Structures are given as structure tokens and as C-alpha cells.
Amino acid sequence: MEDLTQEEWAEQLANDDNAVVLDVRTDGEVAEGVIPNAIHIDIYKGQGFIYALEELDKSKNYYVYCRSGNRSGQACNIMEQLGFENAYNLEGGIMEWAGDIVDFE
């Protein structure tokens, strides 16, 4: 797992052809908008969160965020334990995100 600043995360994401953006916030938070192309798996789903992660392609690079960077850090640690090699936590979360925010599809 790697904590990236807002700038590092955005720049690395923009140049990564193997990237997946992962939002680990609650349904209510996601309804307020997401970073474009994000997939959503609520970390508070407990074992359901683990099951959903296990369905993901471990060869991809995951750019993980939440509201403030706390839950996404926990999610990255869980992903690492499950065998994901590249999980990047967005420091400061979506609260400090200066990029685009779109409605969740």
C-alpha cells in the first residue's frame, strides 16, 4: 500500500492504463458524487466488502479513496492482505479532491 498526496494520486492515475478507481464510502456518501469512473464497494459491509474485493482483478492498480483518507487506508491494508500488489490511498480523501466529481452511475 502507498499513501499518495492528491497531486501524486491524480498524476499517477492519469498516466496509468491499468487503473481502477475504488470508492469505499457508504451509499449515502456516494450519492453526493464520485471521482469519474469509480467503482463502489462500501468498506462497512464487513465480510461482504472482502467478498467483493476477492472478485476484483488483482493485476490491476487500485486508486482507493473515501471521505478523508482514513477508511481508504484501511481498505488498502485489507487489499494488501488479500494479495493485491498495487493499492494507492488518496490522502485527504474526496474532501480535498480538486478534480472532477460526477454523479454515480
pLDDT tens digit string along 40-67? Answer: 999 999 999 999 999 999 999 999 999 9
Q: Do the bridges between strand 87-90 and strand 2-4 make them parallel or antiparallel, or are there none, so unpaired?
A: parallel
The residue written with cell numbers 497531486 in the block is 7
Residue 66 bears catalytic tag: yes
- CA distances (Å), 4 to each of 8, 73, 92, in order? 6, 10, 9
pLDDT at 24: 98
Task: Place 37 in a pLDDT band, splitting at 50, 70 and 90.
Answer: very high
Residue 105 has pLDDT above 90, yes or no: no
Q: What is the pLDDT of residue 1?
A: 87
Look at the domain 2-96 and name its fold.
Oxidized Rhodanese; domain 1 (3.40.250)
Average pLDDT of the residues in 73-102: 97
pLDDT at 39: 97
Say yes or no to pLDDT of 23 above 90: yes
Domain boundaries, the chain: 2-96
**Catalytic residue of the set 66, 76, 79, 94:** 66
